Structure 1
Amino acid sequence: MSTTDWQDRIPQAARDYIAGRRLDEVECIVADIAGVARGKAMPASKFVHQDHFFLPNSIFLQSITGEWVDNPMGAFTEPDMILTPDWTTAAAAPWTADITLMIVHDAYDQKGAPIPTAPRNVLKRIQKLYEAEGWRPIVAPEMEFFLVARNLDPNQPVIPPMGRSGRRAAGKQAYSMSAVDEYGKVIDDIYDFAEAQGFEIDGILQEGGAGQVEINLAHGDAVHLADQIFYFKRLIREAALRHDCFATFMAKPIEGEPGSAMHIHQSVIDTGTGRNIFSTPEGGESEQFLYAIAGLQNHLPAVIALLAPYVNSYRRYVPDFSAPINLEWGRDNRTTGLRVPISEPSGRRIENRLAGMDCNPYLGLAASMACVYLGLKEKKLPKPECLGDAYISDTEIPYNLGDALDLFAENKAMREVLGEDFCIVYEAVKRNEYKEFLQVISPWEREHLLLNV
């Protein structure tokens, strides 16, 4: 592959970044089950002469702790996958000392079939189900995260960062511009990095937690946006490290503060007409809009294990902390798990508020889209709209990861949509993580049980 071929294939932002400069390195990456970037970094001079590289398929059997799960699909032989670059994902890594590009790769087996356990392939699988019906899903994610003081000892609680005023960031300052200014240098670097990568930020605001920030992305193609979130998590962490703090996407990093969500807005376009199928030609709500809500209500419990993938995720699902703990739906009602924002008929959409920011973005979007897809196919009607405070409704989601995995295992329709091979491996990885957690004795147990029981 020549230099000209290389430059013709990558996005304009990547071309602009390397224009007139010597490209030193290319990071060839793939997201694992947790959404961690795995892969290889190689000199650019070597990368341009090859169109694929190899990694063992066991990377999808690795838990967040780094442990390897026994392969539930058979012998642990670790055959190589063939990873091929998706040129549209080429993006700058502007925090590195040299000139580096990152490229997301797709994973195939040695016969050329997509690896079913690769999260990006799972999302592509769901997208193809929509395409087969003549539909195009449109999504828009909202990303919440915390900037926190450096935490070098896991036994110590996480605390807010020090702001430019010399005070630690304060909570309960939602939408405050002054609160954002406290760590403005981090935000400035986030903007600069995003610009270098060609990403469009729809807005940045202060959320309700101490040091909690929300970034909204413009709506678009699901795979493209999942790639952006995948990159954004690293981008934001790198920006924070430049200013002596950490960025964390844990669902609940600070006791007594709200958790961090990844709200997912979704609509569906008819590919033949270009019309939003959630609206009638006259501009009203369509039957398909109601079917989609019902699909989310009926199937979200089965995919909470993907939207809330860790034991910490369930600490976010508590009353009075701005997190939905129900499957109610309502128009412009932020107490419901499923909110219908104010919009024009062309922009009519459903906001799924249950996903945590700790989820793998490919799997979070795939899970939410799968629920909508099943709703459109099943054509059931949702429960009546919630017109009041949905926080007082009964909790309709699992309380912990173990219960969530049980529901995930039981929903045959969802497993067929996501792919049985993926579901088997995902469940094995998550049950192993849950087992590891149950072997850890917490400070609460030592404090209250050691001498009292």
Structure 2
Amino acid sequence: MSVQKVLDTINENNIQFVDFRFVDLSGRAHHITLPATEVEAETFENGVAFDGSSIPGFRGIEESDMVMMPDTETAYIDPFTDHPTLNIMCNIFTPDGDRYDRDPRSIAQKAEEYLKKSGVGTAAFFAPESEFFVFDDVRYESGMNTSSYKVDSEEAVWNTNTKEEGGNLGFKVGVKGGYVPVAPVDKQQDIRSEMVRLMQESGLRVERHHHEVATAGQAEINFRFDTLTKTADNLLKYKYIVHNVAQQYGKSATFMPKPLFGDNGSGMHVHQSIFNGDSPLFYEKGAYANLSEMALHYIGGILFHAPALIALTNPSTNSFKRLVPGYEAPVNLVFSKGNRSAAVRIPVAAVTPKGCRIEFRTPDSTANPYLAFAAMLLAGLDGIQKKIDPRELGYGPYDKNIYELSDAEKSEIRSVPSSLDEALDALEADSEFLTEGGVFSADFVANYVSFKRQETKDIAIRTHPHEFSLYFDC
């Protein structure tokens, strides 16, 4: 979309405000809003100034001036504002006109540029399956003398014997009993359908929605794949719509990986493939799962670098409460066709040559999608360039339920890091694949590790409520 087309959209739709947005290290969007009367062609040439020192992990106060440069291709009309508003994603630049090397969106674009320069292909396609919970009540606090949380849902299994207005009507979702039931067990059909409607109006091509496995309102909506940066843009739009539709219904949506103890967590399985023009490069008819050698080497790169990669794809302390055996969590660093107990799954049902892809199942939605998708692509490209064969390294294929293997058999399989600290250690030891082609800078990696270490420290020094159950009577 040209600048003139954006200006025409503002006039034709009586847009009153233009919302310029960017994303921080954690993947959270921020915005500055201009009256539409103040938005001219020069706005897109000069950008919108903001204070980078007020964004955690960006810049110090002595170098705080930064510029948002709008990407006109991302413009869409906000479906929630009372005053007609046009939303536009931006890249971040320094006042000197240089790309800011800590800008996640710029890193994603540099990863796409590096793919083309590598000669491997022309485009990488991504499709995340971002799961979430919709709760009716959310309460938490963390203080000097108190620490607690409580969530609730009309669907939750723990509410089978609670007093409800008008009487308890039953039809609750059991533990691990929530996969695609119909109403009245599934009480959130209309909420998800409204989310889908607004996603479609905002330009997303949605393929389906359904209730997910866990009790208490777990859901999934799938939107169609696109190129790396566009998919990351789409995921931010997706989360924005999910959060705000839930609010409109008097509920609250969260993409937190493990808000409940004892049931499935929320992941973000990421489907990915590489094309050269219109030709798919991951397909080879008759090979294992119809995968080409290039695709196998891509898998090899993902699995080889997985411990470091996970610092970017699962970047929260809560992520590792999901990554434990027993809850369909993909903790095993192996690949397999159609096997959901493997970290990398190759979908085989109703797959065409152009639909041939690999699925990395370990990530979750606390990931910044620009960073996570870029890091996955770079790991895969490293595997292609170095011809890392996952079969030779013992990464599979494992075409059986890994959870049912004997302890001796399981001992031969690498597992994901058990904590964010371990993943950050791995990233510090293995980051060269990220800095190839200048996609990630060494400064970015060091800053990111320091930024995330603070989160692990914040959790480590705080008293946990369960510690009272274990130790108060000592």
TM-score computed with the length of structure 2 as normaliser: 0.85
Q: Note the alpha carbon deviations across 1:212-264, whole angstroms, 9 max, x for none.
A: 11111212211111101111111101000111110000000111121111111
Q: Is the Cα contact below 8 Å between 2:171 and 2:185 reproduced in 1?
A: no
- 3-state SS, counterpart of residue 193 of structure 1: helix
Distance 1:315 1:294, change over 3 A: same
Q: Note the alpha carbon deviations across 1:30-51, whole angstroms, 9 max, x for none.
A: 0001111123112111123622
- 3-state SS, counterpart of residue 151 of structure 1: strand
Match of 1:189? 194
Moved more, 159-168 or 334-343: 159-168
Is 1:255 matched up with 2:255? no
- Amino acid across the alignment from 1:402: D
Is 1:386 matched up with 2:398? yes
| Two-structure CA RMSD over aligned residues (Å) | 2.5
- Amino acid across the alignment from 1:137: A
- 3-state SS, counterpart of residue 50 of structure 1: helix
Q: Note the alpha carbon deviations across 1:401-433, whole angstroms, 9 max, x for none.
A: 111110011104234233212211111110111
1:20 deviation in Å? 5.2
- Amino acid across the alignment from 1:345: P
TM-score computed with the length of structure 1 as normaliser: 0.89
1:27 deviation in Å? 1.3
Match of residue 43, structure 1, among 28, 31, 35: 35
1:329 deviation in Å? 0.4
Match of residue 209, structure 2, among 198, 204, 212: 204
- 3-state SS, counterpart of residue 333 of structure 2: coil
The runs of 5 or more residues in structure 1 that have no matched partner are 63-68
Superposition pairs of residues 99-118 of structure 1, within 5 angstroms: 99-118=84-103
Q: Is the Cα contact below 8 Å between 1:147 and 1:213 reproduced in 2?
A: yes
Report the Cα distance in structure 1 between the residues aligned to 2:98 and 2:285, rounded to whole angstroms: 40
Superposition pairs of residues 21-420 of structure 1, within 5 angstroms: 21-48=13-40, 50-51=43-44, 52-58=47-53, 61-62=56-57, 76-134=61-119, 135=121, 136-154=123-141, 155-161=148-154, 170-171=173-174, 172-178=177-183, 181-210=186-215, 211-271=217-277, 274-280=278-284, 284-342=290-348, 343-383=351-391, 384-391=396-403, 392=405, 393=410, 394-417=413-436, 418-420=440-442
- 3-state SS, counterpart of residue 61 of structure 1: coil
The runs of 5 or more residues in structure 2 that have no matched partner are 142-147, 157-164
Distance 1:5 1:305, change over 3 A: closer
Moved over 6 A (4+): none
Match of 1:66? none
Q: Is the Cα contact below 8 Å between 1:60 and 1:117 reproduced in 2?
A: no
Superposition pairs of residues 422-437 of structure 1, within 5 angstroms: 422-437=444-459
1:333 deviation in Å? 1.0
- Amino acid across the alignment from 1:408: L
Report the Cα distance in structure 1 between the residues aligned to 2:192 and 2:444, rounded to whole angstroms: 37
Residue correspondences, number: 432
